[in-house]
Structure 1
Amino acid sequence: MAVGILPGQVNGWPPKCSFDSDTDSTYPPLHTPPSPLSAVNEPSSLSRPFFWEIVPLCELYSIAHIILLPSSLRLSYNQSPLRTGSNNTNGVNGTNGHQPRSEPPSRFMNALTNLGLGPSNWTHAGVSVFTAILPTADGYVARSDFLRLRLQDFPFSISKIQECVASFKKYTACRLSSSSVNSEDGLANLIEQAAAVIQWGDLEASVSILNLQHYLLGLTHELRDRLNNAPWLTTHPTPRKRLALIRGRPNLTAGGPIYRAARALNLDLVIVDDEGHWLQPDADDNRMHCEAFVATDMTEDAGVADRIIASIKRYPLPIHGVFTVSDNFFVTAARVADALGLPTNPVSAFETSVDKYRSRLLQDAPGHTARVTSVEELNTLLTAPTNGNAAFTPTYPLIVKPTKGWSSECVSKVSTPADLALAVQKATSRHGSAAVIEPFFDGPEIDANFVLLDGEILFWEVADEPPCQADRRDASVQDTFSPEALTLPSALPEREQAVVRDTLRDLLVRAGFRTGVFHVEARVVHSGCEYRDVGGGVIDLARKEGGSADGADKVACKLIEINARPPGYRVSVPSRHTYGVDFFAAHMLAAVGDHERLRLAARPFDHHVGEGRTRGAQYWSRLVYVPAPKAGVVRWAVSSSGLPPCEELRRRRPDLAERIVVAVDYCVPGERVTLYTDGARTYVAHFLVCSRVSRRDAIEVGEEVLRAFRIEVDED
């Protein structure tokens, strides 16, 4: 008998489970037929356990479910065959019609209380359910918030997660057998030896035995999908290490994922940045995020690497790794790490990745791509004789962008020769950069994220970017490539995803990269899919009408750019929630050469393949960017009673709130916003929404969130 949670289930009760032994072959049976829950051989009261079961979850873990019932249910459940080892009594409270006598707390109750899960945390009218997590082998904690990361967005309500093992200390596996846990003392031993105990949201007192067992089976399946392939423990102790972060993030919103991951991994951060950075003051809040701040002149000149090296050498404690997530400091960080003998990829690899012309030549044929520093150089290029070499011949439409840049800044689609000079002028004016002129590849745009270890793919994923302004056939040079949304997992056919994986991994290795996290943007040309209306005005990636299921034989993946870092803090959120992979944690572990924990950090969930859903994804997700509606001054507090727009939307639309995983406002009252910033759209918020029903449902929820969002902007 296999159990699966029906699509669309969200936190709460009643549980919805489907049983179909004939058609569901995804999971091996857990109980066939459902095994009876064991009863504790002691009289029961409001504060005593009623029944329990130990389940071998997988090779890595066993779990123990413990159920506590309110006294009002004692009589009916006392007559149940589940209480095979208990003494039957009469009376509503199991005391022959008398009020229950006052009893001292049992050792089991004390064990729960010591974890902050005792009777004061229960509702006396509900059914309380606890699950103890029991790793099957000894080891050392790899990450202090491991269980919270793996249980994020769990489809059953969680009241509390109590991790019982001290951070980075050794855990000795629980050796108790089911036969030895036959009393409250036995359960106390189990609780005291557990690595963690989860208290689930209380169930209704009216829950039936059958529904309760369905609920426990659903819990067990979901826990196995999240823990089956993810060891909590390492074989060796985790020494405390120290990382230098070159360029602290501009604010806590952007830097928070890095600082939290560092704490969870037992890594101390030393921030290297300009004088006056917000993390420089020696304040309690700042000490939560970093060990120290080292003020350094970060002027981007020929001596910046030497100044950073000198600052690190002056620091009184050893530095074990250097990293950055700032695009314009990739090469500098690699030079610093190389000079200090710390783990890094070759400097030449970063030099290739940050230069969009050089990275384009990893894949391009001669004559298809050009690099110019001015409009005058463009005119010379277009009129120069070939001298026997391949001439640059523009084929429209094409793309013009700065060789050094990010966030779609000053990227233009050029459809006519008349617009080419204008696009070059725009690109060369940004960052004092040259402009790269390259073909426009028509096909679905994707983001691909990789975690590599010595060239081996530990984890990879593909996310779909729906068409933006510049993707329109009639797009002008003024339209932008700013993203509007992102959908996970990808709807591309499996064969096309394999082409993406193999092509981009090979390009990364050819550039010189071996280990780390990489965010790569690309397009799939000659895809068997296209964006179109799939019904009801929903625009999504769908099979071309009359096309083959796996795309044409000539399908190819064309590189747009390589970012030798995790995706930005916004784009990393869908991956962490959908797959359970923390790219910032992996990035830092690669920087200190901790390869054992790097492998652990790259383990996605193990959810089975749903219709159109990649293995490992716990649901479909949609990241939605909210653009500024107009230029002016933000005044959202006027009409929302002081609530930020994201919170105001949650309060006003509870039907959407339960589907919103993450919501972040960017603006405060009085702040001035523009429609465009450095040639890219200006955003005022972003949302991540999810669906356990379908990809289309996630897209529809995302679009409804976008329509429902309210922000007031007073025009200048």
Structure 2
Amino acid sequence: MTHDSAGRRETLLVVGSGYRAGHERLLAQMAADADLILLNPEPVSWQRDWVQAAEVFDPADGDDGVLRTAKTLVDRRPVAAVVTYEETMVVTTARLAQSLGLPGVPVAAAELARDKHRQRTLLNSTGISPTRSVLVHDLPAARRAAQEIGYPLMVKPRGLSGSAGVRRVDEESQFDAAFDAAVNADKRGLESEGVLVEEFLEGFEFDVDCLVHDGTATPVSWARKIWAYDPYPIEAGFITGHGTLGRAEMTEGFDLACRSVLAAGIDRTVAHVEVKMTPAGPRIIELNARPGGDIASRIVELARGVRLGSLLVSAALGRAPHTASSDDRSAGIRFLYPRSRRRFDGLAEAARLRSRPWVHEIRELHPRGETVAPPPEDLYGRVGYVMATGPHADEVEDRLLLAHHELRVLGS
């Protein structure tokens, strides 16, 4: 629990709250360590259990409008810092912190984290993580870049998240369609001008979250990814805890992740970094100026007893992390998708599976009767998830595979 010099709990201004299934546990963890006031783009409901006060702002009002609304909150009580865990709010939050004269992620670092081209430019120019990458704005330039780099390669929008518009291209005949998909990907309110054509990096990809404050970066969380829908890099789940990564990932990979976030100027947050171990050593896939999403806070706490929300509070307040954790268990999540476009009639009963002691939770994410579709038609087409636990990551991965097979998505 964090207190000011007078022994009072400190207050954080949180911008954006995300969706309940994915983020309520993270917000609750934060509320255990600081008083929270919330600036949200939608009226609050479930968030009221965790915040002291809230105001609604309209993102279309721009920075001045956000600042005016924020002042109605911060004028009521002293605020120690401004923070977010939402991808779409990273730049808005950084600009707001600067305008209020409060600690937060520096604006330049937040803007870089939302711009994959600027990330590549920085990582290449410093030699931290060299990767061939060309920013293009039209198909002829994109074709030239592809010929220069060679196949296989990656095509991705400059500024989106969640693998939106991203695809591996193995041969020239696939390229034009991949470029068109990247150009026309659903931006979901994010800015993205231009497309990156990049070399494809062979290897094992994983996530690491680094707590960053005052020039130091400390690995606090990591995960093995579960992939689906090749050649689209859809992260269909992840596993953390005992046995998740090997020695090279936890030494060379973690070191590269921490050096990268510091080089990017990221501060006062838990930064989510995607790393790939290649034959030439680790390489950065992407930097983010917020913690890992996709219900990560629940899985990390379940596996290791580490609370990402508490660590985010520590980072925002510029304090060293307390990261004592359990190292003898693992946990993971597998997201469930329909096989084709259909009406969602729920998940299979699978009574025997549901009775297994290692099944932590099974949940449906869509109301029954809705029309749903799998990636790549709908990149956000998850209809449910299953969480599993075990003594080792390999065992959890096997259990999630079994659960994925048993929990068929019903409907027609």
TM-score bracket for the superposition, by shorter chain length: 0.7 to 0.9
Superposed, 1:381-420 pairs within 5 Å as 382=145, 393-420=148-175
The CA deviation at 1:424 is 1.7
Matching residue's letter, 2:240:
L
Q: Percent identity?
A: 19
**Contact 1:401-1:437 within 8 A present in 2 as well:** yes
Say if 2:76 is the partner of 1:317.
yes
Residues 1:257 and 2:39 aligned together = no
2:411 equivalent in structure 1: 713
- How far apart are the structure 2 equivalents of 1:481 and 1:703? 18
**Cα deviation code 1:267-320 (max 9, x no counterpart):** 1222332xxx2417xxxx653233333232212xxx612211111223341333
Q: What is residue 609 of structure 1 aligned with on the other side? A: none
- 4+ runs deviating over 6 angstroms: 234-237
- Once the two structures are TM-superposed, the CA of residue 706 in structure 1 deviates from its matched residue by 1.3
The correspondence of residues 268-667 of structure 1 with structure 2, limited to 5 A, is: 268-273=36-41, 277-279=42-44, 287-299=48-60, 304-315=62-73, 316-318=75-77, 319-364=79-124, 368-378=132-142, 382=145, 393-430=148-185, 431=187, 433-470=193-230, 479-489=231-241, 491-526=244-279, 555-591=280-316, 593=317, 595=319, 599-600=321-322, 603-605=323-325, 616-636=326-346, 645=347, 648-649=349-350, 651-653=351-353, 655-656=355-356, 658-667=357-366
* CA–CA separation in structure 2 for the residues paired with 1:659 and 1:467: 22
Superposed displacement of residue 676, structure 1: 2.7
**8 A contact 2:214–2:318 mirrored in 1:** no
Structure-2 separation of matches of 1:235 and 1:313:
21
Q: Distance in 2 between matches of 1:261 and 1:428?
A: 38
Correspondent of 1:695 among 387, 393, 396:
393
Is the Cα contact below 8 Å between 2:217 and 2:262 reproduced in 1?
no
Query: Normalising to structure 2: TM-score of the pair?
Result: 0.87
Name the SS of the counterpart of 1:483 in structure 2: strand
CA contact 1:445–1:466 (8 Å) conserved in 2: no
1:43 aligns with none
Offset, 1:492: 4.2
* Alpha-carbon distance change, 344 to 702 in structure 1, aligned in 2, over 3 angstroms: same
Per mean C-alpha deviation after superposition, the further-off stretch among 456-465 and 509-518 is 456-465
Deviations 1:238-274 (A, max 9, x none): 523333322332x42233123312331241222332x
AA at the equivalent of 1:695: A
Bigger CA drift: 513-522 or 449-458? 449-458
Letter in 2 for 1:338: Q
Q: Report the residue type matching 1:696 in the other structure.
A: D
Aligned equivalents of 2:248, 2:177: Cα separation in 1 = 39
Which secondary structure does the structure 2 equivalent of 1:683 belong to?
Answer: coil
Please give the secondary structure, in 1, of the residue aligned with 2:148.
coil
CA distance in 1, matches of 2:40, 2:355: 44
Give secondary structure in 1 for the equivalent of 2:59: coil
- Pair 655,696 (structure 1): closer, same or farther in 2 beyond 3 Å: farther
Deviation at 1:691, TM superposition (A): 1.3
Q: 3-state SS of the aligned residue for 2:182?
A: helix
Counterparts in 2 of 1:408 and 1:458: CA distance versus 1, 3 Å: same
1:672 aligns with 371
Specify whether residues 246 and 462 from structure 1 end up closer, same or farther in structure 2 by C-alpha distance, changes over 3 A only. Answer: closer
Q: Greater helix share, 1 or 2?
A: 2
The number of residues matched between the two structures is: 400
**2:11 aligns to what?**
242
Deviations 1:491-519 (A, max 9, x none): 54313421101111111111112332011
Runs of 5+ unmatched residues, structure 2: none
- Structure with higher Rg: it is 1
Q: For residues 491 and 328 of structure 1, do their structure 2 counterparts lie closer, same or farther at Cα, with a shift above 3 Å needed? A: closer
| Shift in alpha-carbon separation, 1:667–1:401, aligned structure 2, 3 A | same
The Cα offsets for residues 32-87 of structure 1, whole Å up to 9 and x where unpaired, read as xxxxxxxxxxxxxxxxxxxxxxxxxxxxxxxxxxxxxxxxxxxxxxxxxxxxxxxx
Letter aligned with residue 337 of structure 1: A
Determine the C-alpha separation between the residues in 2 that align with 1:677 and 1:271: 33
Unaligned residue ranges in structure 1 (runs of 5+):
1-141, 144-233, 384-391, 471-478, 527-554, 606-615, 637-644
Q: Which has the higher contact order (CA 8 A, sep 6+)?
A: 2
Q: CA deviation at 1:584?
A: 2.2
CA distance in 1, matches of 2:134, 2:270: 29
CA shift, 1:433, in A, is 3.2
The equivalent of 1:16 in structure 2 is: none
Q: 1:364 to 1:618 in 2, by over 3 A?
A: same
Q: Secondary structure at the match of 2:103?
A: coil
Aligned alpha-carbon RMSD (Å): 2.8
**1:655: Cα distance to partner?**
4.7
Three-state SS of the structure 2 residue aligned to 1:567 is coil
1:305·1:333 contact (CA, 8 Å) conserved in 2? no
> Residues 502 and 262 (structure 1 numbering): CA distance in 2 closer, same or farther, change over 3 Å?
closer
Cα 1:427/1:679, change in 2 over 3 Å: farther
- Looking at structure 2, the residues matched to 629 and 418 of structure 1 have their Cα atoms a distance apart, in angstroms, of 26
Q: 1:654 to 1:632 in 2, by over 3 A?
A: closer
Report if aligned partners of 2:21, 2:295 keep a CA contact under 8 Å in 1.
no
Normalising by the residue count of structure 1, what TM-score does the alignment of the two structures yield?
A: 0.52
Q: Aligned in 2, Cα 1:702/1:659: closer, same or farther, shift over 3 Å?
A: same
Letter of the 2:76 counterpart: L
